Amino acid sequence: MRAKLPAGGGTWPALWMLGNNINSVGWPACGEIDIMEHVGNDLNKIHGTLHYPNHSGGNGVSGSVVVPGVTTSFHLYSIEWDASFIKFYVDNQLYHTFNNNNETPFNNPFFFIFNCAIGGNFGGAVDPNFTSATLEVDYVRVYN
């Protein structure tokens, strides 16, 4: 996904995926792959996180990297995903690897969600001068 992220304290954009079986098994059993999360109060720090049983909420398996200019220019956020690993990249630079296996929910179909939350547990305090911001997604590509 190529995207330019919103600016402002309290913004919390995310490009993520949930397991298709969420309606039958619930969360976190379905699995969650956060391809990219950014917290406006921690400018330019990109997070890639996996949530699944015993690793939900703040206990997700996560990596992060600082990428200058995420709110002023487009960057490429991607994962390489197969039965044995999930690798997280920004601008084709690897920053986090998860060892996948049959014990995790990450070998099933998933669907995409793109959103920008304001505030919340991870987004933090909203700047009192904040009025608006834009999450721009230029494109999404999926390869099988």
Domain spans of the chain, in order of start: 2-127
Mean pLDDT of 51-80: 97
Which CATH number among 1.10.10.10, 3.30.43.10, 2.60.120.200, 3.90.1150.10 corresponds to the domain 2-127?
A: 2.60.120.200
Of the candidates 110, 100, 142, 114, the one whose C-alpha atom is nearest the C-alpha of residue 19 is 110
Establish whether 103 is a catalytic residue.
Answer: no
pTM as predicted: 0.96
Mean pLDDT of 104-123: 96
Mean pLDDT of 60-84: 98
- How many C-beta atoms surround the C-beta of residue 131 within 10 A? 6
pLDDT given for residue 136 in this prediction: 96
Mean pLDDT of 72-83: 98
Work out the burial of residue 144: count CB atoms within 10 Å of its CB; fewer than 13 is exposed, 13-18 middle, 19 or more buried.
exposed
pLDDT given for residue 144 in this prediction: 83
Establish whether 37 is a catalytic residue.
Answer: yes
